[in-house]
Amino acid sequence: MVLLDGKAAAEAMKKDIAGEVARWIGECGRKPHLAAIVVGQDPASLTYVRNKENDCRQVGMDSSVYRLSANISQEGLIECVRTLNEDPAVDGLIVQLPLPGHLNEQEIIETIDPSKDVDGFHPVNVGRMVLGLPSFVSATPAGISDLLDYYRIPTRGKECVIIGRSNIVGKPLANLLSRKGPGGDCTVTLCHSQTADLAKVCRRADILVAALGRPLFLKANMVKEGAVVIDVGITRIEDKSTKSGFRLAGDVDFEAVAPRCSYITPVPGGVGPMTRISLLKNTLQAALKRNQ
Amino acid sequence: MVLLDGKAAAEAMKKDIAGEVARWIGECGRKPHLAAIVVGQDPASLTYVRNKENDCRQVGMDSSVYRLSANISQEGLIECVRTLNEDPAVDGLIVQLPLPGHLNEQEIIETIDPSKDVDGFHPVNVGRMVLGLPSFVSATPAGISDLLDYYRIPTRGKECVIIGRSNIVGKPLANLLSRKGPGGDCTVTLCHSQTADLAKVCRRADILVAALGRPLFLKANMVKEGAVVIDVGITRIEDKSTKSGFRLAGDVDFEAVAPRCSYITPVPGGVGPMTRISLLKNTLQAALKRNQ
């Protein structure tokens, strides 16, 4: 069993990205620039955005963060998005989700200029990805695809089962892995709450992705001997043996499942670090495209 | 074995649509209007467009057809699309595909105003459909979904296998059938040229859709007893027993497969007539939305 070390893969990829960024700066005379809008004081959101700023700095990109009041109106937030859409110094633009309940998230997503939508959440980017056209692919699916590629795990002709049909992981990943060409060509089955006999379906998988957000859900009897298991979940669960009284758990019952796998991601340190790489790659891509 | 009579279902649905159209006209004082652009003299394209005009007439909608020279430039065609985008009298707009080889089809598709894109080919509509947002769903996937619904064939929790990952059938249908809610909730597997042991995968299917465009491809040993089989293919093949020397064949070896099925579509008269209904429904939808 090989551990899919997302942290190490991400570090290696950051070096490559930093090299490309340096080359781009040499050509264009400025740094690629990621702008992030964060609304309110949700501690997790603030941490995520801080991590993104650090990542940008590490690869030599500029970043700027717009911290808006939790009470901002829909119109006010739209105005802010539009201003950054039009700002020629901004290459990539993200709005940290979730937004406070009084705001219409979907409308905000659709206000972002698709050519700056480095989170890949705009329907145009989702649609273009599905159709096999150049697009920004959202962070988690892209990160998983990059991790498989980094470890040279073949996808072509493999049976892939994905548990969870969320808009940001399951659905785009199903489309990405079944596309024609390198990194795709899987025979993908997308499972969800209505799937009958989920364990049986999962046991078909050469590549099994758990992305349903229920800690320790995937048990050993759901995994074929030799499967590649990708764990997207990350939930804080009680653990009295730790100092804090908590630990992070994935959707996979790692202790039980790992011995059956050819490859498996740890949580933390698996998919998580790879998602952050995707945002950097998309921002660089946006900058490259704007300069063409 | 029950034959899924798309022709009869389409006729019944046309009556419902005609009723809704009449009500809409009563409210708005004009007819919903479908505009079609056809480039060149391809006989199949001209026939398809003529059928669409007839369908519109039958349900009380207006239609207009713009027949352009096969030599039109990309810019000329874009100009024509833009004019119809801006024409307030046009509710739905389609460009009959395929286009002559010197034209960039994708650019033309992306020029159509998504709110008039009743073929549902624009990436925005594809993306919105995948994300479960209101959108125009392209004709064949929507027609298949309507046919299942018409015969009250349950989809929830069923295993659905789709053969063929085209942008206009396989991919959107996979997304449509795996969405949450009525008419969705299938556990969908999307198969293609790289799928290993296709027959085995197909035998899992409660609902099996053949959409690869290879006549008589699907044989009895690929079908589970009691499955629902949907045949999207339609190809002219040689048949010396007919007057013309040809007949229309689907992707399914109907004679061999039908006895194993609970339901099966004939070719012709199955999926085909349903696809034409989808265009009418989308055009009515576009008109309703523009009037809100």
Mean pLDDT computed over B112-132: 97
SS3 A86: helix
A184-to-A126, A130, A273, B96 alpha-carbon distances in Å = 16, 12, 22, 30
**Partner residue facing B189 (CB), from A172, A189, A196:** A189
Q: Given an 8 Å threshold on Cβ–Cβ distance, is A190 in contact with B187?
A: yes
Contacts of A194 in chain B (CB under 8 A): 156-157, 185, 187
Contacts of A189 in chain B (CB under 8 A): 187-189
Positions of A marked active-site = 52, 96, 119
**Partner residue facing B123 (CB), from A133, A185, A194:** A133
The pLDDT of residue A147: 98
- DSSP E strands, A4-91: 33-39, 62-68
Cα first-last separation, chain A? 44
As to burial, measured by CB atoms within 10 angstroms (0-12 exposed, 13-18 middle, 19+ buried), residue B51 is: middle
Contact (Cβ atoms closer than 8 angstroms) between residue A123 and residue A65: no
How far is it, in rounded angstroms, from Cα A225 to Cα A259? 9
How far is it, in rounded angstroms, from Cα A56 to Cα A277? 10
**What ipTM was assigned to the predicted interfaces of this complex?**
0.95
Q: How many Cα atoms within 13 Å fall on the side-chain side of residue A64?
A: 13
The pLDDT of residue A50: 96
pLDDT over threshold 90, residue B290? no
The answer to whether the Cα torsion of B59, B63, B67, B68 is positive or negative is: negative
Q: Give all strands of the β-sheet with B33-39 in edge-to-edge order.
A: B62-68, B33-39, B92-95
Paired sense of beta strands B207-210 and B228-231, if any: parallel
Contacts of B185 in chain A (CB under 8 A): 192, 194
Q: What is the pLDDT of residues B238-266, one digit of tens each?
A: 999 999 999 999 999 999 999 999 999 99
Phi, psi of B35 (to 5 degrees): -105, 135
Contacts of B187 in chain A (CB under 8 A): 189-192, 194-196, 201
Nearest-Cα distance to chain A for B68, in Å, is 27
Which stretches in chain A have pLDDT values below 50?
A: none
Residue type, A218: L
Nearest-Cα distance to chain A for B225, in Å, is 18
User: With helix as H, strand as E and coil as C, how does chain B read?
Assistant: CEECCHHHHHHHHHHHHHHHHHHHHHHHCCCCEEEEEEECCCHHHHHHHHHHHHHHHHHCCEEEEEEECCCCCHHHHHHHHHHHHHCCCCCEEEECCCCCCCCCHHHHHHHCCHHHCCCCCCHHHHHHHHCCCCCCCCHHHHHHHHHHHHCCCCCCCCEEEEECCCCCCHHHHHHHHHCCCCCCCCEEEEECCCCCCHHHHHCCCCEEEECCCCCCCECHHHCCCCCEEEECCCEEEECCCCCCCEEEECCECHHHHHHHCCEECCCCCCHHHHHHHHHHHHHHHHHHHHCC
B2-5 LR contacts (CB < 8 Å, sep 24+): B2/B151, B2/B262, B2/B263, B2/B264, B3/B263, B3/B264, B3/B265, B3/B266, B4/B147, B4/B151, B4/B230, B4/B263, B4/B264, B4/B265, B4/B266, B4/B270, B5/B266, B5/B269, B5/B270
Catalytic-residue membership of B240: no
Nearest-Cα distance to chain A for B145, in Å, is 18
Contacts of A167 in chain B (CB under 8 A): 130-132
pLDDT over threshold 90, residue B114? yes
Contacts of A157 in chain B (CB under 8 A): 194-196
Nearest-Cα distance to chain A for B245, in Å, is 37
Cα Rg, chain B, nearest whole Å? 19
Mean pLDDT computed over B181-195: 97
Paired sense of beta strands A235-238 and A246-249, if any: antiparallel
Q: Given an 8 Å threshold on Cβ–Cβ distance, is B157 in contact with A125?
A: no
Contact (Cβ atoms closer than 8 angstroms) between residue B178 and residue B188: yes
**Residues of chain A contacting B, Cβ within 8 Å:** 106, 122-128, 130-133, 156-159, 165, 167, 171-172, 174-175, 178-180, 185, 187-192, 194-196, 201
Q: What is the pLDDT of residues B31-57, one digit of tens each?
A: 999 999 999 999 999 999 999 999 999
**Residues of chain B contacting A, Cβ within 8 Å:** 106, 122-128, 130-133, 156-159, 165, 167, 171-172, 174-175, 178-180, 185, 187-192, 194-196, 201
**Partner residue facing A187 (CB), from B106, B187, B201:** B201
**Partner residue facing A194 (CB), from B157, B171, B174:** B157
**Partner residue facing B191 (CB), from A174, A187, A201:** A187
How many CB atoms are located within 10 Å of the residue B170 CB?
Answer: 23
Question: Angle A43-A45-A50 (CA atoms, 0-180°, nearest 5)?
Answer: 95
pLDDT over threshold 90, residue B149? yes
Closest chain A residue to B171, measured at CA: A130
**Helices B139-150 & B170-178, crossing angle to 10 degrees?**
40
The pLDDT of residue A123: 97
Q: Which residues on adjacent β-strands are paired with residue B246?
A: B238
Question: Which domains occur in chain A, in start order?
Answer: 29-113 (3.40.50.10860), 139-272 (3.40.50.720)
SS3 A272: helix
How many CB atoms are located within 10 Å of the residue A80 CB?
Answer: 20
Contact (Cβ atoms closer than 8 angstroms) between residue B31 and residue B20: no
Q: Given an 8 Å threshold on Cβ–Cβ distance, is A167 in contact with B122?
A: no
The pLDDT of residue B262: 98
Of A177, A158, A178, A175, the residue nearest A167 (C-alpha): A175
Q: Given an 8 Å threshold on Cβ–Cβ distance, is B123 in contact with A122?
A: no
The pLDDT of residue A292: 79
Nearest-Cα distance to chain A for B258, in Å, is 26
B223-to-B1, B95, B131 alpha-carbon distances in Å = 14, 37, 31
Contacts of B165 in chain A (CB under 8 A): 178-180
Q: How many Cα atoms within 13 Å fall on the side-chain side of residue B44?
A: 6
pLDDT over threshold 90, residue B17? yes
Q: What is the pLDDT of residues B97-109, one digit of tens each?
A: 999 999 999 999 9
Q: Which residues on adjacent β-strands are paired with residue A75?
A: none
